Amino acid sequence: MGGRVPSTGPLHGRVASFDPGRGIGTVAEDGTGDLFDFHATAIADGSRTVEEGAAVSFNVAPGHRGRYEARLLVPLSSHQRPA
């Protein structure tokens, strides 16, 4: 696996891009700007959609293409954002 090995536990960031037609997107980790791909099935509430720019928490795991991918994306409201 290339790149930095992410820390364990939930990370925080923002959805950098999302294509609802293809069901794929990227999330940028707060503080590092590292980008992780995700699929619509990784959205934890089952909605299969998320707005670009939305604040999210997520986990990272090895993906099927040899890179780390975002999993278990949970959109956060403004009062849920970490300080």
Residue 27 sits in a domain whose CATH number is: 2.40.50.140
pLDDT tens digits, residue range 21-60? Answer: 999 999 999 999 899 999 999 999 999 999 999 999 999 9
Phi, psi of 42, rounded to the nearest 5 degrees? -85, -5
Q: Under a CB-based contact definition with an 8 Å cutoff, are residues 27 and 54 in contact? A: no
Q: Residue 46 belongs to what domain range?
A: 11-72
Domain assignment present for residue 18? The answer is yes
Q: Could you tell me if 11 and 58 are in contact, meaning their C-beta atoms sit under 8 angstroms apart?
A: yes
Rounded to whole angstroms, how far apart are CA atoms 41 and 28?
18
This prediction's pTM: 0.82
